[in-house]
Structure 1
Amino acid sequence: MSQQSVPGSVTAVDVIRTKRDGGELSDEQIDGVIAGYTAGQVAEEQMSALLMAILLRGMTSREIASWTDAMISSGIRMDLSAVTAAGRPTVDKHSTGGVGDKISLPLAPLVAACGAAVPQLSGRGLGHTGGTLDKMESIAGWRASLSPQQLLAQLTDVGAVICAASDELAPADRRLYALRDVTATVESIPMISASIMSKKIAEGTDALVLDVKVGSGAFMKNLDDARELARTMVELGTAHGVSTAALLTDMSTPLGRAVGNAVEVAESLEVLAGGGPADVRELTLALAAEMLAQAGLDADPEQVLDSGKAMDAWRAMVTAQGGDPDAPLPVPGHIQTVAAAETGVLQHLDAYRVGVAAWRLGAGRARKEDPVQAAAGLLCLAKPGDTVTAGQPLFELHTDTPERFDAAIAELDGAARIGADPLPRPPLVIDTVRAG
C-alpha cells in the first residue's frame, strides 16, 4: 500500500496504525484524513481499515467532537438567522430509524402551528427502515428538492419544511455513510453520532430533539447502547451551541398499524385530524412538547393538534412544495391477507420482521439507487394486547408486484407471537436525556 499523504504532516497509514493500536487520534490526524478522503486523496480501502479500527477500538469524546467538526467543515453551514429574526425559533427532530416511523409527517406541521420553524431535512429508506422522503413522494406533485432560498422562504412563511438535504451539507458524511454500509461498520456509536450530528449542526437549527430508538426494529438493540448514543449526540449538539435533548423510545413493535409509504401518509393524516393510533399520537405529542421546550416556546401541542391548526400547516407545507393535499393517495394493484394460526392474545409483534416484509413488498430498497413502490407496504390489523381468533387476518399486504407476496409472507412467519395472556410491554417513551 502506498503511503498516501493527507493534508498536513501525517499519512493515512499513520492514522490507521494509531487507531489500530488503540491510540487517540489528534485533531491534525482527523482533519487531515477527513479532508483527504473528501478530496479523493485517501483510498477507499484505507478509510475502510480506519472505520473498522474505530469500530473495534472506539473513540474518546474529544475524538468524536473533532471528527464531527471535520465533517461539518467538509461542506457549508446553513444560516437560518433570517427565520429566527422573523419571529420563529428553529428546531428540528431526528429519528435514528424504525418501522412504521411516520412521526415526522404530523410532527413538523404541528410544531410549526405552535410557532416554531422546523427545517426537517430528511432521507430515504434503506433496508428494513422507512424513509420520510419516500413516504412524502406518495403525494401527487410533491417535490423533495428545494433551493436554499425556497427553504428559507417556506420556513418563514409556513414554518415547516420536509425536504432532501443539500449535497453541500457535510459531503464527507455522504461518502462515509455509503462506505460504512458495505464494510459492516454501521453500528459504530462514534460514527453514528458524528454522521447524524454533523448534518444537523450544519443545518443551522437553534434546537434539536433526537428520537433514539431501541429494540428489534432499531439499529440499537439494547438500552445501554441507545443511552450511550443519545448521551454522545446530546453532548455534541450542546458543545456546538445547539440546544439538544434525546428521547429513548421503544422500537420492539412497529409504530402505528401502517408500514410502508402511502399507507403511512394516510395514517399521519388520521393523526393530524385528531385520531390515528394511540402510540403514534403519543409519540408525536411527546416529541412536540420537547421540541417546544428546547425552542423556548410555551404552547400546548395537544390543544393545537385537536384544533385543526396542525392540519392547516400540513396542507400549506405540502402545497408550498408542489403537492396536492387533496389528491388521492396511490392504491396497490394487489392485496393479500395473512391470518392468525391460533386463538389467543397477541403477545409480541416483531418490528424487524414486519419492516423486512414491507421491504420485500417493494416499500424499501436494498441500494440507494433502487426505486420504491408508493403503494407498497402492509397494515398490522392487530397489535400486542389484542385478542385474536384462528383465521382472523393479522396483516394486510399491499404491492403492485404480486410475485413479492411469498417472500413477504415468509418474513412474517414468526413475527406475531400468540399466547394465553398479554405480556408486559415497555413504555413507548423510555427516558429523556438532556444536557448536564
Structure 2
Amino acid sequence: MRMVDLITKKRDHKALTNEELTWMIEQYTAKAIPDYQMSAFLMAVYFNGMTPEERSHFAFAMLHSGDVLDLSDIPGIKVDKHSTGGVGDKISIPLAPLVACLGVPVPMISGRGLGHTGGTLDKLESIPGFNVAESETQFKQQVQQINEAIISASGEVAPADRRIYALRDVTGTVESIPLIAGSIMSKKLASGTNALVFDVKVGNGAFMKTTEDARALAKALVGISKTAGVKSVALLTDMSQPLGITIGNSLEIAESIAILKNRGPKDVHDLTVALAAQMLVLGGKAASLEIASGLAEDALRDGRALNAFKQLITAQGGDASVVDDSRKLPQAKYRIAVKAAESGIVDQIDTNALGLAAMQLGGGRAKKDDILDLAVGLVLHKKLGTPVTKGDTLVTLHADTENVDAISNMVRNAYHIGDKAPKKTPLIQEVIRP
C-alpha cells in the first residue's frame, strides 16, 4: 500500500477498508508515514467524512496502536461515562462514587483540561495528596476493592490518537465528527469497560453548538460502541449556561461534595442522578430508569455516596477530611464581586466567555504545559431567568491578584439582561441509543 493512494481515495469520496485504515495507523505510529501526508488525509476526512464502518475501523485501529486493559477478572459489568466537556462540568466527580456504592464497577481513565478549566484529573488534584498516576495493577485492584478509580491514561494508551490529535489542532481539522468520535472511542475502549454512557453537551458553552452536530456525534459514538460489542447510550445535555454555580478546580470539588451531601445546585444534582440511572441500568443493577433513579436518590440521602467518595480519596492517597472541611482545599486570596450595571432578567449568558475568564484567572490552560492555579475561579450568583437589580452581584471572582478589572468586565459583558425570562431549555434534550 501507499499512503498517497489512500489520500486520493478519500479525496474522491471513496470508503477505505479495514485493512487500509489498519495499515495506515500502524505505519503512522511507526513514523513511516510523515505528518504532511497524515495532514492531507485528515483534511480529506474533514471535507468528505467517513461511513459508519470506516468510523469504527478507524477507532479500532487507533485503539490497537497501544495498550488495551483487560478487566475481565473484575466481577460485574464495568461501566464508564464520557462527557464531551463544558463550562462547570464536574459531573464525573460525584457520579463515580454514587454509581460505585450501588454495586457497579466504575473504572474511569480521565483527562486533563485544555481551555476554560482543568479536567477531572486537575480538579481531583486540588484535593491534597490525591494521586491520579496509579499503575494498571493498582487501578485494577482498587476497582476490585471499592468499585471505583479515576486515573490518568498511561503513555501507551492509543499513541496513534495522541499524535493525530496534536496534528488536528494545527491543521484546522478539529471539528470533524468522524475524527472526534475516533479519538474518544480509541481511548474509552482501551479502558476495558463493558458499557459506556456518553454526555454530549450542546449549546454556546459546548464544543457542539447545535443539536444537529451533537446528535451526529452521539450517533457516531453509540455506533462505534455497538460495533465493538460495548453497550452504550448517549444523552444530549444543555450547555447554554454553566453547569452548577462554580467554575474552577477546587471550587468544583467543593460543589461536588455538596451534591454528595444531597445539597448543591439542582442542575448538577439532576444530571448526576440521570447519568447514574443510565449506568445502573447498563450495569444490570436496575430494571428501569425509574427504579435506578430512586436507588441513586436514596444513596445520596443516606450518605452511602458520600462515604464512597471518601473511600476513593483515601484509596488514591488524598486527604478525605476535605469532605468535612472544604477550607482544606486550595483557597484564593481575594473575593471580588462583579456587579450588574442594570436591572432586569438574565436572558442570555455567554458561557464560553465565563470559561475564558476562569482560564485567564489561571484556572485553565491556554497551552498544554501551562501550570494551573487550583484555587481560582468563579462563583455564579445569577443564572438564566434570574431577576437582577442594578448593583446586584452577578459573579464572585476567586483570584490571587486584585488586578482583575479586564476579567471583571469580561464577566459582566457575558451576562445579557433583558426584560423577560428566556424560554426554558430542558437539561436533557435527547437520549440516543444504538
* TM-score for both structures, normalised by structure 2: 0.95
Distance in structure 2 (CA, Å) of the matches to 1:143 and 1:95: 22
Structure 1 residues 248 and 101: CA distance shift in structure 2, 3 A: same
- Distance in 1, matches of 2:213 and 2:105, equals 31
Map 1:16-415; keep pairs closer than 5 Å: 16-84=7-75, 88-128=76-116, 130-298=118-286, 299=292, 300-327=295-322, 328-403=328-403, 405-415=404-414
Is the contact made by 1:247 and 1:429 (CA closer than 8 Å) also made in structure 2? yes
Q: Deviations over 1:277-321 (max 9, x none)?
A: 000000000000001111111251111111100000000001100
- Report the CA distance shift for 1:411/1:33 in structure 2 as closer, same or farther (over 3 A): farther
Q: Which residue of 1 aligns with 2:416?
A: 417
Which amino acid letter does the alignment assign opposite residue 14 of structure 1?
D
Question: Whole-Å Cα distance in 1 between the matches of residues 386 and 184 of structure 2?
Answer: 36
- Paired residues of 2:118 and 2:365 also in contact (CA < 8 A): no
CA distance in 2, matches of 1:51, 1:413: 39
Q: What is the distance in 2 between the residues matched to 1:160 and 1:150? A: 12
Distance 1:411 1:18 in 2: 47
* Distance in 2, Cα, partners of 1:176 & 1:155: 31
CA distance in 2, matches of 1:13, 1:141: 50
Deviates more, 1:324-333 or 1:282-291: 324-333
Give, in whole Å, the separation in 1 of the partners of 2:336 and 2:23: 54
How far 1:402 sits from its partner (Å)? 4.2
Q: Which amino acid aligns with 2:419?
A: A
Equivalent position SS for 2:73: helix
Contact 2:117 2:365 in 1 (8 A): no
Q: Is the 8 A contact 1:360 1:407 kept in 2?
A: no
Q: In structure 1, give the amino acid aligned to 2:336.
A: Q
Q: Deviations over 1:36-78 (max 9, x none)?
A: 1111111112211211111111111111111011011101211
Gaps of 5+ in 1: 1-9
Distance 2:105 2:91 in 1: 17
| Structure 1 contact 113–310 (Cα < 8 Å) conserved | yes
State whether residues 90 and 120 of structure 2, in contact with CA within 8 Å, keep that contact through their aligned partners in structure 1: yes
Kindly provide the CA deviation profile for residues 352-387 of structure 1, in whole angstroms up to 9, marking residues without a partner as x.
111111111111101221111110111111111211
Distance in 2 separating the partners of 1:28 and 1:12: 13
Structure 1 residue 129 displacement after superposition: 5.4
Tell me the alpha carbon deviations over residues 190-245 of structure 1, each in whole angstroms, 9 at most, x when there is no partner: 01111111111121101110000001111111001110110111011111111110
* Whole-angstrom distance in 2 between the partners of 1:406 and 1:56: 42
Query: Counterpart amino acid of 2:203?
Result: G
Farther-moved stretch of structure 1 (408-417 vs 191-200): 408-417
Q: State how many pairs are aligned.
A: 422
**One-letter amino acid of the structure 2 residue matched with residue 136 of structure 1:** L
* Higher mean C-alpha deviation, range 375-384 or range 408-417: 408-417
**Gap runs ≥5 in structure 2:** 287-291, 323-327
Q: CA 1:171/1:418 → structure 2, altered by over 3 Å: closer, same or farther?
A: same
Paired residue secondary structure (1:83): coil
SS of 2:320's equivalent in the other structure is: coil
Aligned amino acid, residue 18 of structure 2: D
Shift of 1:119: 0.9
Shift of 1:407: 4.1
Amino acid at match of 2:269: R
Q: Alpha-carbon deviation of 1:133?
A: 0.8
- Structure 1 residue 23: deviation in Å? 2.1
Output the CA distance in 2 between the equivalents of 1:134 and 1:118: 19
Q: Does the 8 Å CA contact 1:373/1:399 hold for their aligned counterparts?
A: no
Determine the C-alpha separation between the residues in 1 that align with 2:258 and 2:212.
Answer: 34
Task: Provide the TM-score with structure 1 as the length reference.
Answer: 0.94
RMSD: 1.3
Q: For the Cα contact (< 8 Å) 1:65–1:236, is it kept in 2?
A: yes
Matched position secondary structure for 1:81: coil
Give the secondary-structure state (helix, strand or coil) at the position aligned to 2:74: helix
Following the alignment from structure 1 to structure 2, what is the Cα–Cα distance between the partners of residues 31 and 382? 51
Cα deviation for residue 28 of structure 1 reads: 2.6
For the residue of structure 1 that corresponds to 2:232, the secondary structure is: strand
Asked if the contact 1:97/1:130 (under 8 Å) is kept, the reply is: no
Greater Cα shift, 261-270 or 341-350: 341-350
- Separation (CA, whole Å) in 2 of partners of 1:282 and 1:369: 34
